[in-house]
Amino acid sequence: MNADVVFPQNATVPMERRIFVNRHLHMANISAIGFDMDYTIARYRRQAVERLAYDITINKLIQRGYPEEIRKIPYDPHFVIRGLIVDKQLGNIIKLDRHREVCRGFHGSTKLKTNDIRNHYFKKKTLWEATRFTRVDTLFSLPEVCLYAKLIDYSDAHAEFKKSYSDLFEDTRSCIDEAHADDSLKSIVSSNLETYLERDLQLPETLHRLRCAGKKLFLLTNSLLPYTEKVMTYLLNSFHAEYPSWRDYFDIVMVGAQKPSFFSHLEPFVEIDDNNQNLGNIVRVLERGHLYQGGNFTDLEATLGIHGEQILYVGDHIYGDILRTKKAGFWRTALVVEELEDDIRHTLTHAPVLSELETLAKERRYLATLAGWQTEEANQQIPGSSAQIHTQIAAEETRQQVKRLDEQMHRLGEVIDRTYNNRWGMIFKDKGHTTRFGEQVSNFACVYTGRVSNFGFYDPQHEYWTPPDLMPHEQDIRGW
């Protein structure tokens, strides 16, 4: 055991390291825990990896005939956040609330005005078809969307560059997918792991504690063995005397899993050796100490002798890891949201501003209601009477107070936005309302947290309780 690793006993877990609960989860009922690798067990140095993916994608676009001039387009690591939507038809990037209404957006890197948003998305019902709209649900997607926005700017400024907005996106997506598939990205990462990966020294002890509690652990990743071997060795080898190799932490290791189809198809497992060579064995029963590629969740459950809600799967992808898992086999789910730690720190740091904004919002609601009452009272009074004139003046003064509060709240909102992200604000909220991404986290993940090692702060048999669900009328009754 690494002597530097300490999980405080009987101490309050730091807020940014806590596990947050959407659905009651009793770990005593969990017999097996599975982990994704990329952006779950493996935490990347995001700006370094994203810049690398951005540069490789530009090179591939130029090889496909794009002008050499695009090489000069700088990467902006703060331009996009997770949870956005790309409108490939109009070249817009937009943020939705939980009702699928557009909160804000950009055309390329130019902010959309309120009237533009209304004209594009509110004049008639928007059908959110995949042919037109693409979700930005993974951290891997951020560099491609950033580049797409820059290419929109370039295209708008160069009439001779004849590419539709949709073509620009599909070309960018194709090139970045190719960068992952042909190893041009991962070969650079794996050759310089210290530059691109963070070591979490609490991770080995966390896995050890789960194993000691009788949990079976398995690794289920889409990455192939050569890359997985290098990454996992860097993260886990030589940190714990009981585990000479990273593989010793896991009862079953599955690479090249092809999620999400792993949860919906019945592709067999193929056994591979340490050199990533196919041994020609198509297997249905998996053994500890062996390596497998492909496969399906049905055979995995049969091997484990564990089914449904006895299995917890930990991943970072809302759809590929979390939603598909629930639809296929009722596994319990834990979503790793890396951005959560910074979000919590910002919220704690700016708690006074957020509290002031909440107070102003309550005052505004009261005054807006009061203005309505005053107007209704004036309408019921004798036209032109001093009483009616007095009431009308009072109503106008109240409306002016509402207007001043709106301006004050707008200024505070801009302060808050700059704290989180200057263009997009919070990842889970927008102007006090839950975003589409926030709703997905709430609906699909049983629990969510910022990193895998946060489980180490809790007893392996811990019972995670959900906060009470309050409907709006209950919130009013309780004075919330």
10 pLDDT more than 70: no
Active-site residue (options: 36, 87, 171, 251): 36
Residues 63 and 179 in one domain: yes
CB 44 within 8 A of CB 195: no
Q: Is 82 inside a domain boundary?
A: yes
Task: Write down which residue in 318, 336, 354 finishes a domain.
Answer: 336
Residues 310 and 258 in one domain: yes
Lowest mean pLDDT among 225-234, 299-308, 317-326, 422-431: 317-326
Active-site residue (options: 4, 38, 183, 200): 38
By percentage, how much of the chain surpasses pLDDT 70?
A: 96
262 pLDDT more than 80: yes
Residues 65 and 127 in one domain: yes
Q: Is 3 inside a domain boundary?
A: no
Q: Is 18 inside a domain boundary?
A: no
Q: Is 264 inside a domain boundary?
A: yes
Rounded mean pLDDT of the chain? 91
Residues 250 and 346 in one domain: no
36 an active-site residue? Answer: yes
Task: Write down which residue in 191, 207, 236 finishes a domain.
Answer: 191
Residues 290 and 221 in one domain: yes
2 pLDDT more than 70: no
Residues 231 and 326 in one domain: yes
pLDDT tens digits for range 197-223: 999 999 999 999 999 999 999 999 999
Backbone angles phi, psi at 164, to 5 degrees: -75, 160
Q: Is 392 inside a domain boundary?
A: yes
Task: Write down which residue in 280, 305, 336 finishes a domain.
Answer: 336
* Cα dihedral sign, 377-382-383-384: negative
Residues 82 and 111 in one domain: yes
pLDDT tens digits for range 168-203: 999 999 999 999 888 899 999 999 999 999 999 999
Confidence of residue 249 (pLDDT cuts 50, 70, 90): very high
* Nearest CA-CA partner of 136 in 123, 120, 147: 147
Residues 178 and 220 in one domain: no
97 an active-site residue? Answer: no
- Please count the structural domains in the chain: 3
Q: Is 77 inside a domain boundary?
A: yes
Q: Average of pLDDT values for 42-50?
A: 95
Q: Is 60 inside a domain boundary?
A: yes
Confidence of residue 1 (pLDDT cuts 50, 70, 90): very low
* Cα dihedral sign, 309-314-315-318: positive
Q: Is 1 inside a domain boundary?
A: no
* Nearest CA-CA partner of 39 in 29, 49, 31, 30: 49
pLDDT at residue 11, rounded to an integer? 58
pLDDT tens digits for range 70-82: 999 999 989 999 9
Residues 301 and 346 in one domain: no
Cis ω before 268 (30° cut-off from 0): no
pLDDT tens digits for range 398-456: 999 999 999 999 898 888 888 889 899 999 998 888 999 999 999 889 999 999 999 99
Confidence of residue 319 (pLDDT cuts 50, 70, 90): confident
Residues 213 and 128 in one domain: no
Residues 367 and 316 in one domain: no
What is the span of the domain harbouring residue 278? 27-44+197-336
229 pLDDT more than 90: yes
336 pLDDT more than 50: yes
Residues 179 and 261 in one domain: no
